Structure 1
Amino acid sequence: MLARFWGTRGSLPVALKADALADKLARALVVADGRRFGDEAEARAFLDAEVSFSGRATYGGATSCVELETGAAAFFVCDMGSGLREFGLDAMKRCGGGHPRKYNIFLSHLHWDHIMGFPFFVPAFDPGAEIVIHACHADAEEAIRRQQEEISFPVAFDWLRAQIRFETMEPGRSYDVDGVQVVAMAQHHSHTSYGYRFTDGHGRSIVYSTDSEHKTDQMDAEDAFVAFFRGSDLVICDTMYSLADTVSLKEDWGHSSNVVAVDLCHAAEARRLVLFHHEPTYRDEDIERMHRETIRYEELTREGAALDVLCAYDGLEIRV
């Protein structure tokens, strides 16, 4: 299995500003300290070896969209944030190379940052495409259609040419979707969000769990999440805020912290954790610092096998 990240921000898309890019270039030039490079490849090798990720790159600004390559013929996608546009363009190229034109899309919930990419999803205009939108919300179709009403968008849902259907899932029930076992779980978030666990025919599993609030003073109630994460090869988890934020100013905002994500994954004996759904006001340096702090926290609290802690960015690929 492979997880490919097309959008990793929460709440709304953000762009790297001109002064932030200039700061990165200036810091890289300071590190270079006057050395010369024969070509771009040599300069890139220097950046990769000697400049931090936040100093040479960006975590990106598109909202939630993660593709899973499961071994099935169909595409599998979690959420339709603004990252869905780039995924759709890339998928069309692959379909031109012979990939089947079926898309299984799983919605965590219906807030705008998780569905806003659909009006710009090019495969929806392909008459040969089949799009199946899986959700635990019975009102999913209403939400998707509503954002393409004339008052909001110039292209009506009924003008789309793909075969589009909605499948309502029941939390806790295992579904066979094109040979992949999929189970959903309810999470604490406004209008309820749902996490998904995907297991392929070889027993490898990926958990997608975003927009879920876990309270540090109610961890006994988190046993169900530990069971849901149990033994996963990869957990993609909402870590939008710091622990301080989740227990103070942003309590009951429906999101969680990096610290709680580590605790849950340790208890579940998961193998890898991906920090996801980044706060849109965080700079690349802020996200990188949280990543370093999370790695250190994992080391200090580890009692069993090591938990590999990664940080999502637009374009990241992780194979399990």
Structure 2
Amino acid sequence: MKKVCFWGTRGSLPVSLTARDVREKIISALSAANGKSFKTPAALNEFVATLPFSTAGTFGGNSSCVEIINGGTEHFICDMGSGARPLGQAKIATYGVPNPQTYHIFISHLHWDHLMGFPYFAPMYIPGNRIVIHGCHARLEEAIRLQMRSPCFPVDYSQAGARIEFDLMTPDQAHYIAGINVTPKLQLHAGDSYGYRFESIEQTVVYSTDCEHQLDDLVEREACVKFFAGADLVIFDAMYSLAEAVSVKADWGHSSNVVGVELCQAAGARRLALFHHEPAHDDIQLNRLLAETRRLEQITRGDQPALEIISAYDGLTVTL
């Protein structure tokens, strides 16, 4: 494994910037530029680089879709939210047609925000491609087919040009797939959700979204610590604040940034990516959450190595 690319990082449903959001970014940038002059494009670019991410960029609005890049013709994808559409377009642009590829897709659970991008995944329509959909839900194939069944979608599943296969995985058991050991783990979420631990000879990536962590369940806590152990990157559902996760939104099936830090520190993970962002949170709120999480890590670190914390956004590529 070489890199991880985030194509969709929102939870529950896709969102987009509004005209008001764009206006506020423009006002913020112009306010920061007040009194400055930029004689060259390079000077202007240099100034933009100093602006906070919430002004100069955006976390994006596509729902969950993450690519683990290993090189070669076999590709690893976690979930098929709306981010699967730009991912599929990028693959066609990169490899062209015909140029058969194999896409291993790992589904965390069967809720729509994690499946809705499948009908828009362009490689599915290209003859010669092979798509293997991995998961632990008995109704996995039924749920995928439903995305392309009338009246839900105008193009029927039978019109896919690629060969589509389904692989029902066994939780807590390592599955050797295209040179990588993949181990699913059951997580607490309505209808069940599964995290995935991807292990190559040199790197480990954990994808753990749509999971609620009960703070008083010590057995499950230890199981999660073992699942995250030594990971180079943990992609973690940090949809809520800790206060929301244990009160107003308890039993909603999601976790918090605070719990993510605690589990990754206990597991000796190297990097934590906050993921599955609350759709009601704008870029300023998500930027603030990232800063608060980094401060939390600093004051709770103790003598152990620093845990690097990032906040995933659509288009972010992380080198392992």
TM-score, with length taken from structure 1: 0.96
1:68-217 equivalences in 2 (<5 Å): 68-96=68-96, 101-200=101-200, 202-217=201-216
**Does structure 2 conserve the Cα–Cα contact (< 8 Å) formed by 1:262 and 1:298?**
yes
CA distance in 1, matches of 2:114, 2:222: 27
CA-to-aligned-CA distance 1:200-252 (integer Å, 9 cap, x gap): 2x331000000000122334531000000000000000000000100111000
Structure 2 partner of 1:238? 237
The answer on whether the counterparts of 2:100 and 2:130 sit within 8 Å (CA) in structure 1 is: no
Equivalent residue letter for 1:33? N
The CA distance in 1 between the partners of 2:178 and 2:98, in whole Å, is: 18
Matched residue of 1:217: which SS? coil
Conserved? CA contact 1:73–1:99, under 8 Å = no
Residues 41, 83 of structure 1: CA spacing in aligned structure 2 closer, same or farther, 3 A cutoff? farther
Q: Is the 8 A contact 1:76 1:105 kept in 2?
A: yes
Aligned residue in 1 for 2:30: 29
Which residue in 1 is equivalent to 2:317? 317
> Partner letter of residue 276 of structure 2?
H
Identity of aligned residues (%): 49
Q: Which position in structure 2 is the counterpart of 1:254?
A: 253
Write the distance in 1 (CA, Å) between the matches of 2:99 and 2:57. Answer: 31
Question: Which residue of structure 1 aligns with residue 15 of structure 2?
Answer: 14
Relative distance call for 1:192 and 1:40 in structure 2 (3 A) is farther
- 2:184 and 2:137 map into 1 onto residues whose CA distance is 11
Question: Residue deviations 1:247-285, cap 9 Å, x none?
Answer: 111000000000000000000000000000000000111
Q: CA deviation at 1:101?
A: 1.1
SS, match of residue 116 in structure 1: coil
The CA deviation at 1:40 is: 4.2
Which residue of 2 is the match for residue 293 of structure 1? 292
Q: Distance in 1 between matches of 2:309 and 2:289?
A: 11
User: For the structure 1 residues 158 and 187, does the alpha-carbon distance in structure 2 shift closer, same or farther, using more than 3 Å as the test?
Assistant: same
Looking at structure 1, the residues matched to 56 and 147 of structure 2 have their Cα atoms a distance apart, in angstroms, of 37
Q: Which runs of no fewer than 5 residues in structure 2 stay unpaired?
A: none
Could you list the structure 1 runs, at least 4 aligned residues long, displaced by more than 6 angstroms after superposition. none
CA separation of 1:101/1:283 partners in 2, compared to 1, >3 Å: closer, same or farther? same
Aligned pairs, number: 318
Structure 2 Cα separation of the partners of residues 257 and 219 of structure 1? 17
Alignment of 1:228 onto 2:227: yes
Distance 1:212 1:41 in 2: 44
- Counterparts of 1:159 and 1:169, CA distance in 2: 26
Change (3 A) 1:98 1:158: closer
Q: Once the 2 structures are TM-superposed, how far is the Cα of residue 84 of structure 1 from its aligned partner? A: 0.1
SS at match of 2:217: helix
Give secondary structure in 2 for the equivalent of 1:131. strand
Give the 3-state SS of the residue equivalent to 1:216 in structure 2: coil
Structure 1 residue 96: Cα displacement: 2.1
- Other-structure match for 1:43: 44
Q: In the alignment, is the contact (CA less than 8 A) between 2:7 and 2:84 conserved in 1?
A: yes
Structure 2 distance, partners of 1:138, 1:45, is: 53
Give 3-state SS (helix, strand or coil) of 1:113's partner.
Answer: helix
Q: Give the drift of 1:48.
A: 1.1
Distance 2:70 2:231 in 1: 14
CA deviation vs aligned residue, 1:146-187 (integer Å, no higher than 9, x gap): 121111110111111110011000011111111111111000
Alpha-carbon distance in structure 2 between the residues aligned to 1:170 and 1:33: 59
Amino acid at match of 1:120: Y
Pair 1:40–1:136, CA change in 2 (3 A): farther
Distance 1:100 1:148, change over 3 A: closer
Deviation string, structure 1 residues 121-143 (Cα, Å, up to 9, x no partner) = 11111011100000111211100
Q: Distance in 2 between matches of 1:93 and 1:219?
A: 47
Q: TM-score, normalised by structure 2?
A: 0.96
| 8 A Cα contact 1:72 1:178, kept in partner | no
**Structure 2 CA distance for partners of 1:177 and 1:99, relative to 1, 3 Å:** farther
